[in-house]
Structure 1
């Protein structure tokens, strides 16, 4: 049986560290463009969705992404909003319990997906105010695409 504890702790630490002091439409634009640029450099085709309080601030689809990516994004966002953690954290958590989100939390798989790619948009002192979501790669790659764009942007904010 695998020990998922170190990975779960790392994912929770990301949520603690990757928080904004404030978030605006301009911030969403900078972040969305940074994610797209990273995807271009890695020759990856993704969809990026950034929402603040349910309002869509940034949406971009690279060639090869279509309605199926939209469905994945919606399901991942629902998971983050329902559980308050990244969709990848929820994936690893349920995997560590040897079950699935649908079997354990009794949520509809048509509306929820515990798979990497959606990260809570966190503002320090406020909490979760939205979501940053990527679709088009494996779950872990989608998650890393978000986190690897957040880290340098937030360093520049300090």
Structure 2
């Protein structure tokens, strides 16, 4: 199965308690939905886990993962990302996108000239920002992911059209 067939839905923030529970950070719109998309896989696909949520905890959700029985096993997973099969996830409306689908896409200006390539999708609390690698530029370009700045995302053609404000250049 290729990586594009899976979407990152969360990460393990570390062990919780002494009986192998983990603290999960969910990347789902409704955080508790992470348990419904199972089994979840490690990024390299070599491990799979069923997830049973146990309780809300500071900074995430408490959960039990199949095959994890001790604090040491849970602690060893800290920082690991959890991936769900794409076909288990809900179909998104036309104006919503999975971050994994945007990363790596070329970004063109409204005239068709290449600006750069999406390196990451970030959210600092005020809405999503596309981090764009621009060849020859020392820093990445940060584009607000709004309809005004990014009027077109065409996943079929594999491109993004952006109209960045002049002050971002």
Structure whose residues are more often strand by fraction: 2
Give the TM-score normalised by the residue count of structure 1. Answer: 0.26
Task: Return the structure number with greater relative CO, CA threshold 8 A, min gap 6.
Answer: 1
Give the TM-score normalised by the residue count of structure 2. Answer: 0.25
Structure whose residues are more often helix by fraction: 1
